Amino acid sequence: MERSKRLGTENPAKLLLMFSIPAIVGLLVQACYNVTNRIFIGNAVGSLGIAGITVGFPAMMIQVAFGAMVGMGATTLVSIRLGQGRKEEAERVMGNAVVLLFITSLLITAFGLTFMEPMLRLFGASDAVLPYAREYMEIVILGTVFGLLSFGMNNFLRAEGNPSKAMVTMLISSICNIILTFLFVTVFNWGMRGSAFATIISQAVSASWIISHFALGKGELKIRRKNFPLRWELVATIMFMGMSPFAMQFAQSLLGGLLNNSLKTYGGDLAISGMGIVVTLMSLIVMPIIGVNGGAQPIVGYNYGARKYERVMQVLKYALLGATAIAVFGFIITRIYSVQLITLFNRQDAELIAFGSRALLVYTLAMPIIGLQMVGAGFFQAIGKPLHSMLLSLSRQVLVFIPCLLILPRFFGLDGILFAGPVADTVSTIITLTWLIMELSNLKRKHQESVKPEDAKESSQVMESVFTLKP
């Protein structure tokens, strides 16, 4: 328990750095894989290859959605149980989650193989793009079990207070993926299939690494056979807690399909390729923010479970500041190097470069404020309020974005699609900020009720600094 106990005792800023930096490094390397994968495909196969991966991406997000529901839902419970000193229950949650991940992966694989072509067409594949997308996804879907176990169980490493190993796991997977993609696509000239094989092999390596950690008892938590039989009340709780990240990722999948179809209508396959590049580049900014969010979650969950509300507020403050700094930095880079970034993926297609650079500038207009929105939504997930978190996540990806995507192109054509992103980001951030202020007021009240009278003045000053976001 010593490793997890530090979540409630060590300096909040130090803890957040300790947990976030490994996650940021791991996720950045993961994002770099997505970038390099499209660079290899773009230069070896062409713009239709990039479009094929872009069309297949919503299907891959469905995998991630289920992995997030089980993995992050269970992680919330594990963090809270560890904060309450209930290690045995935390291990029971993890055991049930592992079984759920395995069962879910089999169902996804069966569904994906059965409905592959109609699914890809639904996500925007034209007759020209479909062969590339199908060639890629038929292999990727076979590795679903590795992807879900790797993604879902990696969250448990952070929950038990082992962020460095979580980072190493992602590094192993991503570096392996990059090397294999280079070999299979560039050297062996296997095209789309080469990229797909690289993906599932690297996921298998990552999953094996994580399973061995928990099976051999190398950390605080251990996978025990006695915890495998599913307890339906626990399964329901895991799924309920994971509703927000599931909804966020599933919404991203649906939006990806809707976005692809809109792009196909107003800009054709080239627009799909260009936006695929833009979304990939944005992941280099979004992934570090997710890392900050992921690093904050077990700390917030532990201290919330331990009723250390002052520490909860402090961690939130530092997470908001860190995420905003990352977002602003990313925004500046896209302003300066928009053309250079697009040419990395294809140097010959002038039309693709022109559209891609403009799309990057427009689609990222609201980038400086998305850190606040993402961390705010994640905060509600960490304190065990998944419905709040889900609604806030959906406000950005569904409730605002979809109407914008349906309405704006009718008046502004392709530009309407590009401006739908920043409009949705702005409105959802305003909603998130409003809810966050209300919840912070509630936490402040809880903290004041629990604090000793002699410490009230000092504690109040600390809480006020959190509210004003002063370092």
Number of domains in the chain: 1
Q: What is the structure's pLDDT at 439?
A: 86
- pTM of this structure: 0.77
Largest interatomic CA distance in the chain:
72
> Residue 162: pLDDT band by 50, 70, 90 thresholds?
confident
Q: Which two tokens stand for residue 70?
A: 């089980």
> pLDDT tens digit string along 51-61?
999 999 898 88
Token pair for 97:
């989650």
Mean pLDDT of 231-237: 91
Q: Are 30 and 171 in contact (CB under 8 A)?
A: no
The whole-number pLDDT of residue 467 equals 45
Query: Using one digit for the tens of pLDDT, what is the confidence trace for 12-28?
Result: 888 888 888 877 887 78
pLDDT digits (tens, 9 = 90+) for 251-308: 778 888 999 999 999 999 999 999 999 999 998 899 899 889 888 888 888 888 788 8
Three-state secondary structure string covering 97-130? HHHHHHHHHHHHHHHHHHCHHHHHHHCCCCCCCH
DSSP secondary structure letter of residue 227: G
Higher-confidence position of 443 and 454: 443
pLDDT at 466: 46
The 3-state DSSP class for residue 61 equals: helix
pLDDT confidence of residue 4: 60
Q: What is the model's pLDDT at position 462?
A: 45
Q: What is the mean pLDDT of the segment spanning 238-256?
A: 83
Residue-wise over 383-405: b if at least 16 C-beta within 10 A, else e? bbbbebbbbbbbbbbbbbbbebb
8 Å CB contact between 352 and 273: yes
How crowded is residue 453: how many other Cβ atoms within 10 Å of its Cβ? Answer: 6
| Mean pLDDT for the chain overall | 87
- Mean per-residue pLDDT for 57-77? 87
Pairwise pLDDT comparison (457 vs 62), residue with the higher score: 62
Report d(CA 465, CA 471) in Å as an integer.
8
- With vertex at residue 294, the alpha carbon angle to CA 289 and CA 295, rounded to the nearest 5 degrees, is 95
Residues 6+ apart with CB under 8 A from 13: 314, 318
- The whole-number average pLDDT for the span 168-173 is 84
Cα separation, 422 vs 418, whole angstroms: 8
Domain that holds residue 391: 2-468
The CA distance from 137 to 156, in Å, is 28
Q: With 70 as the cut, is the pLDDT of residue 1 above it?
A: no
Model confidence pLDDT, tens digit, residues 133-155: 999 999 999 999 999 998 888 88
Long-range contacts of range 233-236, CB-CB < 8 Å, 24 or more positions apart? 234/92, 234/93, 234/96, 235/96, 235/100
